[in-house]
Structure 1
C-alpha cells in the first residue's frame, strides 16, 4: 500500500510473476484490492495490491479506495508500505505512516525506484517516517525483489500471526478454506461479465459478504480483473470481477483498451461466465455479443438479471415473456439459465452460487460410450440424415472425446455431406438426453479412416 503512483502494482506484478494489475503512469489506476498467490522458500501466501491512498481526499471514489486499503491492512500479517525515492518524502507518506502506527500491523517500509543500487542512498531519507529501516528495491527492473520476499517470509514465519489474515486464504472470512494458491484442484473459475455499471462489483460484494470491490456511481470503477476465492459447500469458486466490457469503438485510451483485453482473457480462463444485465435497460446487442463470445470460448453461461427489485408491476409471466423474446433473437440462449436477482437487496443471490456449481458440473459431465451410441441410434432411427445424390450417408458410431465443454466425435462415411441443420438436430437430441445446462456442446464429424488413425 501507499500513495498513488509509487509503483505498488509494478511490485505486485513483479512478486507474483505476472501482469495481473494494470500498470500506468497515471495515478489512481488501481482502485480495488487485487489478490495474487505467491510462494517463496516453501511459504505460500496471498499478496494484496491496493489502490493509492490520498489522505484528506473526500470524494466518493477516494473514500471508497481508503476503505478498501484499511480493510486490506486490517486482515494482513505484514504490510508493504511503498514510497518513491525519486520523489523523496511526501507529506502523504507522513500521514500514511501515522495511520500505519495506529493500525498496529508489522510494516516493511519499501523504498521503490532505487534503480541505482547499491550506489543509491536516497532511501535513507525515509528514516524520517519512523517505521524502521527502509528496504530499497526497484520493482521495474526487479532489483532486490528476492531479498524483499526473504524479508516477507521471515516476518510471516513469526508465531503470533493474526487469525483471518492473508497468509492462509482459508482463514479469511468468506474466502476459500484450504485452497492451494495457483492450483485448480477442482476450483470453478467464474468471470463476472457485462457492460459497465450494471452491478457486477455489487453482485460480487453481496456474494462475498463484504465490500471487496470498489462500488461507485461512476461507470467503470473496476478496471482490473480481480481473482477472489470463495468456499461454497466444499467447492472453491474463484470470482473474477471484470472491468465492464465496452464496444471496441468506444475504447479510447490504453487503460480502457487493456481492461477490455483483460476481460477477454478472464473469459478465456473461466469455467462459468455470469453475464450481468440491467433489468431496467434490458439486454443490449452488446450483451448478446459478450454472451456469444463467452459461449464460443467454451464457458458455461448464466444470465443474471440484476436490479430486479426496481421493476414495478411485475406479473407472473414477465420474466418468461422476456426470456422468450431474447431466445428468439439468439437461439443459443435456449440452453442458458436466467436468474432474476437484486445485488442491492440480496434477492435470489444465494441461488446464484448453487446455479454456478450446477452449470460447472454440467460442463464437466462425461457420458459412457455405450450410452452415447444408444442415444445416437435412437436419434438416427427417428430422423435419418439427408441423403444427397451418390453414396448414402451413414453415422457409424460416436463417443465423447472431451469435457469442459462436452465434445463428441461422430464417425461417418461421408462427414462432409452432413448439413448444419442435422448437426443441430443431433446436438438438441444429446441435450434432451443429458441436458448440459448452461454449457456449450460441440459435435465433430470424422471420416472412418480418420477415426482409425486417431
Structure 2
C-alpha cells in the first residue's frame, strides 16, 4: 500500500491485514474526479494481492453520470459498479453482486437468523466489553493489548479511531468481545459530521455493552469530560471499570493526588473497580480479566424471590421505614442490570430506598454493578 506519514503507514498496515483476511475487496473510487495516482497505486497493489476485487464507482447520482464509470476500466480490475452511497442508488445491485462473488459457508443461514433475533452487533453468549474515554487517552493501545494484535490504529493524533472496532478474544473464562470506540468529546467540540457519527456509534456501543472500561489518562487527572463520560455510562445501566492508564509516568505524590480525585470526582460510580496500569508496556493489564468476569456475572445474575424478601425483611426489621411505610413484597423483575420491584403500602422516602438498595447490594454481594429499584404502591 502507498503511504507517507507515520499515520499513513499504520493505516496501510490495517488495510493490508483486512485485505488478507477478506473473501472479496470493495475498491471504492470517486467518479467525480476520475482516476487519481493513488487509485492507480492501490489498484496495482490489489492486482498482486490475489484477492477478488469489485470496483465501486461512487457519487454516480444520476443516469447521465453512469458513463463516468468507464474511465476506471484502466485500473485493470474489471467493470466498475456505479452507485451513490449518499442516496442509496443502485446499492442493491452491488449487494447482489457481493452475494454472487462471496462463497457461501456451511451454517450461513443459521447465523443470519440468530443475529436477527439478538439485535444489531450482538453475538449470542459472548459478553461485550466497550473501551471508552476521551480522545488520545490510550483506548486503542489497551484494545490492541487485550486482543493481542494491532486491530486499531494507534497514533498521538486525537480522533484516530473513527468507528467502533470489535474483536472476539478467547480467554480462560470463555470468549469475550472487546469494542474499541471513538474518543468522546463535549458536543460543542464535535464539529465534523464524521466525528459526530463516531460519537453516536460510541454511545450506542456503551448502551449495548455488558460492561464498560472508562480509560482515563492518569497524567492529566480526572477531567470534567471524564466525569461526564462516567455519568453517561452509569445512566446506561452498564457496570463500569475505571482504568487509570499511563500510571507508570506518575511519581508518588501524583499517584496519591489521583487517588483522592477518584473518590471526590467519581463518587457517583460507587464501588466501581479502579485499575492502575500501562497499556503501552502491559504492566497491570493482567488484573483486568478477573475483574471483568466477576462484573459480567453479577450483571446477568438472577436472585430467587424468597431470598430477596428475606433480605428486605431483615433490613426493615433493623431499620423500619418512617411514618409506617413498609415493603409488602419484593422480587427481581429483570437483569442486565439487576432490577428489583418493591410493592409498598405507601410512598417511601428516597433516603430509605437508598438504604434498601444498599441492603440488597450487600446481601447479595453485587459489588459495583448498578442496581435499579422500582416501587409500586398498593392500590387503595
TM-score, L = length of structure 1: 0.74
Matches within 5 A, 1:166-245: 182-233=121-172, 235-245=174-184
Residue 92 (structure 1) aligns with:
38
The whole-number CA distance in structure 2 between the counterparts of 1:265 and 1:132 is 38
The whole-number CA distance in structure 1 between the counterparts of 2:311 and 2:210 is 27
The whole-number CA distance in structure 1 between the counterparts of 2:278 and 2:37 is 43
Residue 273 (structure 1) aligns with:
212
Question: Does the aligned pair in 2 maintain the 1:327–1:333 contact within 8 Å?
Answer: no
From 281, 285, 290, give the equivalent of 1:345.
Answer: 281
Other structure's SS at 1:264 match: helix
Question: Does the aligned pair in 2 maintain the 1:308–1:341 contact within 8 Å?
Answer: yes
Query: Which runs of 5 or more residues in structure 2 are unaligned?
Result: 109-117
Q: Does 1:111 pair with 2:57?
A: yes
Residue 235 (structure 2) aligns with:
296
Other structure's SS at 2:19 match: helix
The whole-number CA distance in structure 1 between the counterparts of 2:67 and 2:172 is 53
The whole-number CA distance in structure 2 between the counterparts of 1:119 and 1:206 is 46
Residue 371 (structure 1) aligns with:
307
Other structure's SS at 2:379 match: helix
Residue 381 (structure 1) aligns with:
317
CA displacement, residues 305-335 of structure 1 (integer Å, 9 cap, x when unaligned): 1112223458xxx978854652344433332
Structure 1, 202-211 or 430-439: larger mean CA deviation: 430-439
Q: CA deviation at 1:378?
A: 0.9
Residue 66 (structure 1) aligns with:
12
Q: CA deviation at 1:198?
A: 0.7
Q: Are the structure 2 counterparts of residues 419 and 78 from structure 1 closer, same or farther at C-alpha, using a change threshold of 3 Å?
A: same
Q: Does 1:434 pair with 2:364?
A: yes
Question: Does the aligned pair in 2 maintain the 1:207–1:350 contact within 8 Å?
Answer: no
Q: Does 1:360 pair with 2:299?
A: no
From 316, 323, 327, give the equivalent of 1:395.
Answer: 327
Question: Does the aligned pair in 1 maintain the 2:212–2:241 contact within 8 Å?
Answer: yes
CA displacement, residues 204-231 of structure 1 (integer Å, 9 cap, x when unaligned): 1111111111111112211223333334
Q: Does 1:336 pair with 2:272?
A: yes
Question: Does the aligned pair in 2 maintain the 1:326–1:333 contact within 8 Å?
Answer: no
CA displacement, residues 277-329 of structure 1 (integer Å, 9 cap, x when unaligned): 11222222321221121111111111111112223458xxx978854652344
Q: CA deviation at 1:80?
A: 1.2
Q: Does 1:125 pair with 2:57?
A: no
Q: Does 1:448 pair with 2:347?
A: no
Q: Are the structure 2 counterparts of residues 310 and 128 from structure 1 closer, same or farther at C-alpha, using a change threshold of 3 Å?
A: same
Q: Are the structure 2 counterparts of residues 204 and 149 from structure 1 closer, same or farther at C-alpha, using a change threshold of 3 Å?
A: same
Question: Does the aligned pair in 2 maintain the 1:186–1:235 contact within 8 Å?
Answer: no
Question: Does the aligned pair in 2 maintain the 1:273–1:301 contact within 8 Å?
Answer: yes
CA displacement, residues 59-118 of structure 1 (integer Å, 9 cap, x when unaligned): 222222111111111111121112222222222111111111222212122222333349
Q: Which runs of 4+ in 1 moved over 4 A?
A: 179-183, 233-236, 318-325
The whole-number CA distance in structure 1 between the counterparts of 2:72 and 2:364 is 65
From 245, 250, 254, give the equivalent of 1:306.
Answer: 245
Question: Does the aligned pair in 2 maintain the 1:136–1:144 contact within 8 Å?
Answer: yes
Q: Are the structure 2 counterparts of residues 92 and 307 from structure 1 closer, same or farther at C-alpha, using a change threshold of 3 Å?
A: same
The whole-number CA distance in structure 2 between the counterparts of 1:100 and 1:140 is 26
CA displacement, residues 16-38 of structure 1 (integer Å, 9 cap, x when unaligned): xxxxxxxxxxxxxxxxxxxxxxx
The CA RMSD over aligned residues, in Å, is: 2.9
The whole-number CA distance in structure 2 between the counterparts of 1:248 and 1:438 is 28
TM-score, L = length of structure 2: 0.88
Residue 52 (structure 1) aligns with:
none
The whole-number CA distance in structure 2 between the counterparts of 1:353 and 1:431 is 22
The whole-number CA distance in structure 2 between the counterparts of 1:326 and 1:371 is 34
Alignment: residue pair count: 371
Question: Does the aligned pair in 1 maintain the 2:58–2:82 contact within 8 Å?
Answer: yes
